[in-house]
């Protein structure tokens, strides 16, 4: 197994890696809307937060020379399902014609009181 880190994504705030490779699969830890330059949550609604989450996902993917096209599964955690449509618009823009499998859940709480966190699984042929 191999771990990956990007300085263009938030540092891990606990005992975990930004991404770990196991065979041809890459498991990205949940990304939150933390601006890596400031270490603080971005201001704004779930749309702005989702944009930062996807920027963070892209940065971590790039650390392993992956792109959003390599993503096979996403799990989206929301503070409320009322935010789903706005998050989904940003999600659709990020992936374009690529349609990874996805689950989405409302949860009781997210780190630092944010509205969205997304974990990702990617795959790359050997």
CATH number at residue 104: 3.30.1330.40
pTM above 0.85, yes or no: yes
Of 75, 79, 91, nearest to 116 by C-alpha is 79
What's the pLDDT tens digit per position in 53-79?
999 999 999 999 999 999 999 999 999
Q: How many domains does the chain have?
A: 1
> From residue 113, how far is each of 4, 6, 32, 51, 66 by CA, in Å?
26, 23, 10, 17, 29
Domain span holding position 60: 2-123
Segment 77-116, tens digit of pLDDT: 999 999 999 999 999 999 999 999 999 999 999 999 999 9
């Amino acid at each position: 197994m191999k771990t990956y880190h990007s300085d263009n994504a938030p540092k891990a705030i606990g005992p975990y890696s930004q991404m770990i490779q196991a065979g041809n699969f890459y498991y990205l830890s949940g990304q939150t809307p933390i601006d890596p330059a400031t270490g603080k949550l971005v201001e704004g609604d779930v749309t702005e937060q989702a944009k930062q989450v996807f920027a963070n996902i892209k940065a971590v993917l790039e650390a392993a020379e992956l792109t959003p096209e390599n993503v096979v599964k996403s799990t989206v955690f929301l503070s409320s399902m009322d935010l789903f449509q706005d998050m989904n618009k940003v999600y659709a823009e990020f992936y374009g014609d690529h349609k990874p499998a996805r689950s989405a859940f409302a949860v009781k709480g997210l780190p630092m009181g944010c509205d969205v966190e997304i974990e990702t699984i990617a795959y790359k042929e050997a």
